[in-house]
C-alpha cells in the first residue's frame, strides 16, 4: 500500500457521524470519496458549498460546481450554496467541527506551515489561516520527509507559519501524533513501520504513548 493510501485511510477515521468537515486543497480532498456510506457528514468548502459529495463520474461533471481547489465535485441532496463571505463566517464562527489540511511542515509544539514557500509564486493564502483558528479540531496529513529525505516534522518550522500551536493530530506515512499541552506524543505506527524509523526521521522531540499501537 502506498504512503498516500495509508495516510488517507487513517485520516478518514477522524470523521464522525454528524460532523461538519472542511477538507483542505490537495490530498485532503480525496477523502470525500472514502467516507463510509453509513457516516452522515456535511462537507464544507470555502468557496460557498455545504454538502459536497464524491468526485463526479464523467457523465456527472458540472463545470459550475467546484470546490475551493477548482476541482469539479458533486452536491448531496439538501446541499446549500452561498458566497464566500458566508462561508468564512461559518469558519470564523466556530461552526466547523473538523478541518483536515495538508502540511509542508509541522513543529513539535503544533505549529503549522502549509501556505507558501518563499520565492515561489503563490496565488493567495487561501482559507487555511481562518480554518486553523476557527475549526474545532485540526488534523494535518502529509509525508513524513520531503523529497530530499529531510524531516517535515520539525523542532521549529522554517517556512512561514499558518498558525501557532493549532494542530491537534498529525498523520503521516509513518505515524500518528497527538498534540497536548505536554507536547507531541506518538500514538500509532503505520503498518510495517518500526519505532526506530520514526525516531530517525523525526526532527522534533516527542514522547511515546504507553498504549502505542500498530495500524493494520
Residues contacting residue 179 through CB under 8 Å, at least 6 positions apart: 109, 110, 165, 167, 168, 169, 170, 185
Q: Name the 3-class secondary structure at 126.
A: coil
**DSSP-derived secondary structure for 9-60:** HHHGGG--TT-EEEE-TTGGGGGGGTS-TT---EEEETTTEEEE-SPPPGGG
Phi, psi (deg, nearest 5) at residue 52:
-65, 140
Would you say how long the chain is, in residues?
A: 216
Beta carbons within 8 Å of 129's beta carbon, 6+ residues apart: 115, 162, 163
User: Distance between CA atoms of 52 and 39, rounded to whole angstroms?
Assistant: 14
d(CA 88, CA 135): 11
Residue 60 to residue 33: CA distance in whole angstroms: 15
Distance of CA 152 to the CA centre of its chain: 15
**Active-site residue 46, yes or no?**
yes
- Which of the residues 9, 14, 37, 46 is marked catalytic? 46
Q: Which residues are catalytic?
A: 46
Amino acid at each position: 500500500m502506498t504512503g498516500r493510501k495509508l495516510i488517507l485511510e487513517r485520516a478518514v477515521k477522524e470523521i464522525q457521524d454528524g460532523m461538519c468537515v472542511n477538507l483542505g486543497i490537495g490530498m485532503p480532498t480525496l477523502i470525500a470519496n472514502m467516507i463510509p456510506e453509513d457516516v452522515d457528514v456535511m462537507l464544507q468548502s470555502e468557496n460557498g458549498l455545504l454538502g459536497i459529495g464524491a468526485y463526479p463520474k464523467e457523465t456527472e461533471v458540472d463545470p459550475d460546481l467546484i470546490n475551493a481547489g477548482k476541482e469539479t465535485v458533486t452536491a448531496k441532496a439538501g446541499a446549500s450554496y452561498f458566497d464566500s463571505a458566508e462561508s468564512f463566517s461559518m469558519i470564523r464562527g466556530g461552526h466547523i467541527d473538523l478541518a483536515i489540511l495538508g502540511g509542508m511542515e509541522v513543529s513539535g509544539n503544533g505549529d503549522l506551515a502549509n501556505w507558501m514557500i518563499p520565492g515561489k509564486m503563490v496565488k493567495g493564502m487561501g482559507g487555511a489561516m481562518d480554518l486553523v483558528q476557527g475549526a474545532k479540531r485540526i488534523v494535518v496529513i502529509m509525508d513524513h520527509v520531503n523529497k530530499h529525505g529531510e524531516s517535515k516534522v520539525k523542532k521549529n518550522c522554517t517556512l512561514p507559519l499558518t498558525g501557532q500551536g493549532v494542530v491537534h493530530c498529525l498523520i503521516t506515512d509513518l505515524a500518528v501524533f497527538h498534540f497536548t499541552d505536554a507536547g507531541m506524543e506518538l500514538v500509532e505506527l503505520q503498518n510495517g513501520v518500526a519505532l526506530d524509523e520514526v525516531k530517525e526521521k523525526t526532527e522534533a522531540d516527542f514522547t511515546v504513548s504507553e498504549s502505542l499501537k500498530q495500524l493494520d
